[in-house]
Amino acid sequence: MTGIRFCGTGSYLPPMTVDNGEYAKIVDTSDEWIRPRTGIVTRHIANGETTWRMGARAARAAINDAGIDPAEIGLVLVTTVTADFATPSMSCCIQQEIGAKNAMCIDVNCACAAFVYAVDMARRYLATGDGVGTVLVVSAEMLSRLTNYADRSTCVLFGDGAGACVIKAEEDGMYGAMVGADGSGYGLMFCKNPPPASPWTTNPPEPDDVYTRPELPGQMVMGGREIYKFATKMMPQAINTACERAGITSAELDWIVPHQANVRIVQTAMKNLGLPMEKAFMTIDHTGNTSSASAAIALDELNRSGRLRRGDKVGIAGFGAGLTYGGAVFTW
């Protein structure tokens, strides 16, 4: 199997930070409640930035880290649920900004699992040998755009930011992945778009157990307990299956870079994997949950920390609305 090599990583976090104490001023909560349940102390919130420009800044950092010419990039994959436009795609906006003039552009919406999906898509494009030799993956999210700041159970979780990586093929490199979805859970985490508003539309939306719920369009809704059960089951399953496909065991992994949703979810998932929590690289204390960007940001921070060495075996894992899930393992 053709493997992959991460040539560079980058990230961008908006300068403005909001700590738990600020949330206590707008909803009935406290640092004493938030921190032990989520692991979050502060998070970055956009203040004038746009999703695609955050992504472009992370992309430039990854390109500089890789030391490549943007013209080498054959594919730009951007993951987001918070695009600035219905069209054009965020990948097209970023492509022109960074000068990746030879790249085709694709946006991916798989919620918080999308970074894993995009890495696996990159590997598949690279494996074809059909003109794509370098892939740029960008995960950029502005969850403050979708957050209901009157809902104390969810508003404290989310932050904004972007992460990126440059990937090339590596013959005979170690790689394995499992990505999947369970659409029967689409109502457990969702954010509605508004209904049609044409002057001829008179009928209400057709019956739908989720869309006709009373929550307002444009606001994130999440069923915490059900998501916890799904995540703590599927993240270990995805990593174990990815390891099996790569010909290794999970015990051989040096690092797990998980979706930074909630520290308790990661602790339980690591326990179910039979791995010590010390192998999970966490950033949630200062980033919060940044959806698909969370694992990409964490991978960049791990790379730049000096703790990640060439030859280390790394696993990435995520889960999200859909419900989607995924895990991938590779050699750094």
CATH of the domain at 184: 3.40.47.10
**Could you give the CA distance from residue 324 to residue 320 in angstroms, rounded to a whole number?**
5
* Mean pLDDT, the chain, whole residue set: 95
- Catalytic residue list contains 47: no
The answer to whether residues 8 and 32 belong to one domain is yes
Beta strands in the chain (DSSP E): 3-12, 17-19, 42-44, 75-79, 104-108, 134-142, 160-170, 175-181, 189-190, 221-222, 255-258, 313-320, 324-331
More confident position, 43 or 213 = 43
Output the CA torsion sign for 109, 110, 112, 116: negative
The answer to whether residues 201 and 269 belong to one domain is yes
Q: For residue 53, what pLDDT is reported? A: 98
**Could you give the CA distance from residue 206 to residue 188 in angstroms, rounded to a whole number?**
20
The answer to whether residues 156 and 203 belong to one domain is no
The answer to whether residues 163 and 218 belong to one domain is no
The active-site residue out of 92, 93, 105, 112 is: 112
The answer to whether residues 162 and 199 belong to one domain is no
The answer to whether residues 166 and 234 belong to one domain is no
Query: To which residue do tokens 């394995």 refer?
Result: 176
The answer to whether residues 159 and 185 belong to one domain is no
The active-site residue out of 191, 243, 259, 303 is: 259
- Catalytic residue list contains 289: yes
Beta pairing class for 134-142 and 160-170: antiparallel
Q: How many domains does the chain have?
A: 2
The answer to whether residues 317 and 268 belong to one domain is yes
Of the pLDDT bands very low, low, confident and very high (cuts 50, 70, 90), residue 39 is very high
**Could you give the CA distance from residue 10 to residue 62 in angstroms, rounded to a whole number?**
4
For the segment 140-168, the average pLDDT, to the nearest whole number, is: 95
Q: For residue 327, what pLDDT is reported? A: 98
Of the pLDDT bands very low, low, confident and very high (cuts 50, 70, 90), residue 220 is confident
The active-site residue out of 20, 240, 262, 289 is: 289
Is the Cβ–Cβ distance between 131 and 74 less than 8 Å?
A: yes
Residue where a domain stops, chosen among 146, 172, 198: 172
More confident position, 7 or 221 = 7
The answer to whether residues 147 and 292 belong to one domain is no
1 has a pLDDT exceeding 90: no
The answer to whether residues 133 and 37 belong to one domain is yes
100 has a pLDDT exceeding 80: yes
Beta partners for residue 177, in sequence order: 328
The answer to whether residues 27 and 100 belong to one domain is yes
Residue where a domain stops, chosen among 172, 193, 216: 172
Residue where a domain stops, chosen among 153, 172, 191: 172
For residue 201, the enclosing domain spans 176-331
Longest CA–CA separation in the chain, Å: 62
> Which tokens in the block code for residue 130?
């059909």
Residue 236's φ and ψ, nearest 5 degrees, are -60, -40
84 has a pLDDT exceeding 70: yes
The answer to whether residues 187 and 278 belong to one domain is yes
